[in-house]
Amino acid sequence: MENWYWMTLVVLIGLTVRWTVSLNPYSGAGKPPMFGDYEAQRHWQEITFNLPVKDWYFNSSDNNLQYWGLDYPPLTAYHSLLCAYVAEFINPDWVALHTSRGYESQAHKLFMRTTVLVADLFIYIPAVLLYCYSLKEISPKRKMAVALCILLYPGLILIDYGHFQDIYNSVSLGFALWGVLGVSYDWDLLGSLAFCLALNYKQMELYHSLPFFCFLLGKCFKKVTFKIACTVLASFLLCWLPFFTEREHALQVLRRLFPVDRGLFEDKVANIWCSVNVFLKIKEILPRHIQLAISFCLTFLSLLPACIKLTLQPSSKGFRFTLVSCALSFFLFSFQVHEKSILLVSLPVCLVLNEIPFMSTWFLLVSTFSMLPLLLKDELLMPSVVTVMAFLVVCVTSFPLCESTSEEQLQLTPFAVSVRRRLPGFTFLPRIIQYLFLSSVITMVLLTILSVTLNPPQKLPDLFSVLVCSVSCINFIFFLVYFNIVIVWDSKNGRNRKKIK
């Protein structure tokens, strides 16, 4: 009874913050001719509503792919279609073919914001609540605290409700979370179904696919089951059914989904390529197929240790940590990454919030900071600062952050023990991490203040955004190393514990 009311309060706070952020401007508001991601989403509603399924992904006189052509998998298109039906019911002008381009009004903004809130309310929020509710070995209060922290994670709120990304992150991440829930609690079929839905909503969910695959594979070694394979195949077939009429059609959809010819990276993104680009213009030196090969190899190598570990020793905890490290590897090394893809890393980090509150909070702050140039462009400074502070306040009150930097709480004990065998004086790890945290936070605050107050020099108009990206990238590399250490040494820890028992 009592838990029930705390849960209601947590959801209400989450919803209130979401809706208040949504009162702010969205990307590309009043900026013709291309507008922004908001217009992309509205345009897809127009396309899916007015054109037959077979024309959605093809260039035609009614569907100019240069103007926000559909470049997400079918489930996104179906969702747009559903929203379009509601839009048409309220005001047909919103989805009229051709004439509705660049349509903007208060009522329409309200409608678009509501669609996000509804999707969030039905997919993401229940998954978060169920996840926190099923956490083991912690008090109900702590469960609620974790739920509140996850629901108040500023990155997702700002991108979905402020910036208004063309894809509803809460839906794809929500499905992925249902997948995690299913797989961790041995409802493998439900889990793989949910994850397939996520994958068919947003192809970037591939970042999470390897851990899912490895975890399920590891489980299958113990008890062979073909049901999972059938579920995966069936759900894919169902989503892609309208596109299987012709071979060319399916290929075109795939080409739209993976636009290899758009280059190694676009805009400013906090990954390796963009940061290296400051010193070395890779895009111009190397031909495209070599770029592709290098990025593929690096990604593969960086996620290999975690994936092998997971396949050999599948555990629910290892699964969540591997999700983090794989998504992070993809974000740092893979081809054509968007700055908003960091949300795909943030979701699994939210899931380990309970185990390593200090590192998770730190990571979530950095991830929000890495999107600063984008948020500034959308005039979302005020809600960004406020939600970040609110998140920090909630985290600090829920978890005693300052006291949770011991080796034990950072899950680094096995690593430190094994290093100490060679290097007996190795006891300064927590101290180092505290200093790193402080310097990272100070850099972030300073850079934020600088990029808000100062105008960059004329020769270097992108100075601050490049700095923001590089600083975040360095942080992310550190996190990648940290998470890999935790994953690789974790099994030994398990064995040690067994020995003690």
Binding site for another protein (CB under 8 A): 2, 5, 8-9, 12-13, 15-17, 19-21, 23-24, 106-107, 110, 117, 141, 382-383, 386-387, 389-390, 393-394, 396-397
Shortest distance, position 70 Cβ to another protein, whole Å: 29
Closest by CA position to 321, among listed 471, 437, 488, 106: 488
Shortest distance, position 394 Cβ to another protein, whole Å: 8
Shortest distance, position 141 Cβ to another protein, whole Å: 8
Report the SS3 class of residue 265.
strand
285-294 long-range contacts (CB < 8 A, ≥24 apart) are 288/260, 288/261, 288/263, 291/264, 291/335, 292/260, 292/335
Q: What is the dihedral of CA 178, 180, 183, 184, to 10 degrees?
A: -120
| Nearer CB in complex with another protein: 124/195 | 124
Q: What is the dihedral of CA 441, 378, 20, 119, to 10 degrees?
A: -100
| Nearer CB in complex with another protein: 106/455 | 106
Q: At what angle do helices 106-119 and 2-21 cross, to 10 degrees?
A: 150
| Nearer CB in complex with another protein: 237/396 | 396
Distance between CA atoms of 247 and 240, rounded to whole angstroms? 12
Owner of token pair 């899916």: 48
> Among the residues of 334-428, which ranges form H helices?
342-351, 357-370, 372-377, 381-398, 413-422
Shortest distance, position 82 Cβ to another protein, whole Å: 21
| Nearer CB in complex with another protein: 118/308 | 118
Shortest distance, position 80 Cβ to another protein, whole Å: 23
Distance between CA atoms of 254 and 250, rounded to whole angstroms? 6
Calculate the alpha carbon distances from 85 to 4, 78, 107 in Å.
Answer: 35, 11, 16
Owner of token pair 């943030």: 346
| Nearer CB in complex with another protein: 21/214 | 21
| Nearer CB in complex with another protein: 230/393 | 393
Shortest distance, position 192 Cβ to another protein, whole Å: 35
175-179 long-range contacts (CB < 8 A, ≥24 apart) are 175/123, 175/201, 175/205, 176/205, 176/208, 176/347, 177/124, 177/127, 177/128, 177/131, 177/347, 177/351, 178/123, 178/127, 179/208, 179/212
| Nearer CB in complex with another protein: 148/412 | 148
Shortest distance, position 315 Cβ to another protein, whole Å: 34
Shortest distance, position 20 Cβ to another protein, whole Å: 4
Shortest distance, position 380 Cβ to another protein, whole Å: 11
| Nearer CB in complex with another protein: 66/106 | 106
Report the SS3 class of residue 337.
strand
| Nearer CB in complex with another protein: 260/396 | 396
Report the SS3 class of residue 225.
coil
| Nearer CB in complex with another protein: 141/227 | 141
**CB-based contacts of 11, cutoff 8 Å, min separation 6:** 125, 129, 151
- For 233-320, list the strands marked E by DSSP: none
| Nearer CB in complex with another protein: 15/463 | 15
Give the DSSP H or E segment for 188. Answer: helix 188-201
Distance between CA atoms of 491 and 315, rounded to whole angstroms? 10
Owner of token pair 């309208």: 242
Distance between CA atoms of 497 and 495, rounded to whole angstroms? 5
Beta-bridge partners for 337: 265
Shortest distance, position 106 Cβ to another protein, whole Å: 8
Shortest distance, position 16 Cβ to another protein, whole Å: 5
| Nearer CB in complex with another protein: 10/181 | 10
Calculate the alpha carbon distances from 166 to 143, 159, 340 in Å.
Answer: 32, 10, 11
Shortest distance, position 113 Cβ to another protein, whole Å: 8
